[in-house]
Structure 1
Amino acid sequence: MHWMFEDFKTDLDSLNRTVRKKALEIANELMIQGKCTEKEAITEAIKQAEEWFYDLEG
């Protein structure tokens, strides 16, 4: 199942396009694993995606 996270649109809209895409990928994976709620998944995914992006940028 592909989660859309519509309730968190404003949280996602403030992100760089690349970070937003990665955050959605991570959040979807977390939801598939069933380890957290949507809110927890998107919060953790945004954090991980931002870290990924900063590591990517060097």
Structure 2
Amino acid sequence: MPWTKNNYPNSWKNLKTEEREKAIEIGNALLKEGYSEDRAIPIATAKAEEWYEKHKK
């Protein structure tokens, strides 16, 4: 099931808003590629945090 701004894994609730939105984007792309939720969540979390560090103002 795709994640949205209102429906996402509990582990993302403490991410900054921009990080969470990026995690949702990345996570949904991973799910579409066939990754399980168990694999997509930590990958999306790490990639979103990495993205945020590079793009924060």
**Superposition TM-score, scaled by structure 2 size:** 0.82
Higher helix share: 1
Aligned residues: 55
Identity among equivalent positions (%) equals 31
Aligned to 1:12: 12
Mapped pair 1:57 → 2:33: no
Structure 1 match to 2:23: 23
Question: Residues of 1 paired with 2:51 and 2:3: CA distance?
Answer: 21
Superposition TM-score, scaled by structure 1 size: 0.81
Structure 1 stretches (4+) deviating beyond 4 angstroms? none
Give 1:28-43 correspondences, 5 Å limit.
28-34=28-34, 36-43=35-42
How much is the aligned-residue C-alpha RMSD, in angstroms? 2.2
What residue is the counterpart of 2:44 in the other structure?
Answer: 45
Q: Which runs of 5+ in 1 are unaligned?
A: none
Q: Tell me, which stretches of 5 or more residues in structure 2 are unaligned?
A: none
